[in-house]
Structure 1
């Protein structure tokens, strides 16, 4: 079996631990991306014209062009949950399975979400930064999370775990999801949840339906003094409207691990990053050794099932 691993060398080192890479090598011939960039469809073909399986990071996709050139391909495995840039119709036509690894990052992202919420609510970082500069800020009374309502938007692996963790903190979760879920807390439509929530946290994938999910109108419906946590995708939120709401004090703060543009230069220039009531981080919520190991192992297990057929 020919296995094409599209991760750049840096991504491979970070996201595909040696143990799982060794397991791939036992399952077949592994061809790795030697470049520091994600592969185009032409580069995919040139690098491994007879690939049986492609194991891809979050960016490299699969188009009809590649499938026409390589009829041997049996499966495309996304190392992660979000499947982007894939021609599903062409994959079905050519008999190519499209697989992903849901839940692999649920633990670090949910832990990060709750940690960010606590740091934001308790104003931890301003005190810490001031002390490092030799200043001692006077103590301020901050609201407790106990009894506060948190709207968890998206009840997949991450959202459900966030809801459980927040419930253990004494918060009152309400769920928002397009699918019916069996939960121990109430679920409702997004517009209704925004009116009730003291905290809104986003855990949905980005697609045409969810782009600008938190529009200017919906941000305007949020409770005065509410907090927003976004560890999902930046384009879920109208950033200009969020900026205005934070500057005007209609929202008390935001913890943002994701932005509409995340290249270092664009991120450094984002107005939201510089606001004192914004806790901003550069898309790091999913980073943990254990999560990367779990995710890579899920890819290996997909391959094992394919080879067993």
Structure 2
């Protein structure tokens, strides 16, 4: 029976690999769980997974060259997330190890949080709540009505499309800029126009070198004075020093963020502590529905491996030479039986 190491700590399992998914995984493989409280990496991860053909890894567990070099039994490294930026895929390929990712099951979850954060910033909800919690008497102040305002979406993937649907139902005008997408359900505009006309800006682009710090001193300066900024995509989309300066000057009235440059993509503590910032600890996909979707993706991937089939979500199948140990050739089909 295929042997699998589930790298989640008990806390991570509770949030991201629940009882139903774990029971399903145990139906298709022998499962070894990580019972320590610290995230494993490098040689320590390889040692914990000794004798296992697959590692099922949460987003906080990296796949490093050291791990792949020290894990001779490993055939596949399965990420229970879309983000594979902490997996050294070239090193995995050199070792002949397959890398997979999960599909995004968090579209509704993240989109709902985005809308909630936008409303929070517009009406000062968190600030009033903090006053009450601290025993202070809040001072009522005028908020912003979002109906009739303009929302600018930088990037137009599935999350942005869902946000656009909800915002349009709220009678907001929705602009979108994405040179790589067909934009329907929003008004396609240049980035310059989006920055100049939006009352709320949400960077939801794919994180890569071309989008790194797409929100920077220059783009912040091109926005309307008093703009609201909401970031739930990736921390590297926003130049945090430039954002802090824009908040100090009033160019940005307030910001909300579920991601940032701190470990595990958390918002940076200095920004999160500001009274003009609403921050959450990377909880966009933290709902039972979203977490179970991605966990069950890896259950299906393990089941495919156990049945001598290449799994969905494979990122480097052409280099995964160790699949042959499970009777799978690199085209994804079972190895043919030898001629008699």
Contact 1:76 1:99 in 2 (8 A): yes
Unaligned runs of 5+ in 1: none
State how far apart, in whole Å, the 2-side matches of 1:13 and 1:288 are: 11
CA contact (8 A) 2:46 2:68 kept: no
Find the aligned partners of 2:27 and 2:115 in 1 and give their Cα distance. 39
Residue 303 of structure 1 pairs with residue 305 of structure 2? no
- 1:99 maps onto 2:100 in alignment: yes
Q: Distance in 2 between matches of 1:83 and 1:178?
A: 23
Displacement of 1:201:
0.9
CA RMSD of aligned residues (A): 2.5
- In the other structure, the counterpart of 2:234 is 233
- 2:40 paired with 1:39: yes
Distance 1:157 1:96, change over 3 A: farther
CA distance in 1, matches of 2:158, 2:196: 25
Match of 1:276 in 2: 275
Maintained 8 Å contact 2:214/2:237 = yes
Listed one character per residue, the Cα deviations across residues 9-43 of structure 1 (whole Å, up to 9, x for unaligned) are 21112211111101111111112223222222212
Separation (CA, whole Å) in 2 of partners of 1:125 and 1:62: 37
Residue correspondence of structure 1 range 257-272 to structure 2 within 5 A: 257-262=258-263, 267-268=268-269, 270=270, 272=271
- The residue that corresponds to 1:176 in the other structure is 177
Per-residue Cα deviation, 1:112-150 (whole angstroms, up to 9, x for no partner): 110010111012233333344252523x33222112221
Q: 1:53·1:74 contact (CA, 8 Å) conserved in 2?
A: yes
Contact 2:164 2:185 in 1 (8 A): no
Partner residue, 1:6: 7
CA drift of 1:44 comes to 2.2
Q: TM-score, length-normalised on structure 2?
A: 0.81
The number of equivalent residue pairs is 305
Q: Which runs of 5+ in 2 are unaligned?
A: 310-340
> What CA distance in whole angstroms lies between the structure 2 residues aligned with 1:128 and 1:6?
37
CA separation in 1, counterparts of 2:261 and 2:213?
Answer: 10
Aligned to 2:298, the other structure's residue is in SS state helix
Greater C-alpha radius of gyration: 2
The answer to whether the 8 A contact 1:102-1:157 is kept is no
What is the CA–CA distance in structure 2 between the aligned matches of 1:281 and 1:65, rounded to whole Å? Answer: 32
Task: Answer yes or no: is the 8 Å Cα contact 1:122–1:142 preserved in 2.
Answer: yes
> What is the CA deviation profile of residues 262-308 of structure 1, one whole-angstrom value per residue up to 9, with x for unaligned ones?
58xx955x0x3343322222322322122222221122122223333
State the TM-score, normalized to the length of structure 1: 0.88
Q: Partner residue of 1:137?
A: 139
Alpha carbons of structure 1 residues 14 and 93: separation in structure 2 relative to 1, 3 Å: same
- 1:210 is displaced (CA, Å) by 2.9
Give the CA deviation at 1:8.
1.4
Query: In the TM superposition, what is the alpha-carbon distance from 1:214 to its structure 2 partner?
Result: 1.0
Q: 1:68 to 1:275 in 2, by over 3 A?
A: closer
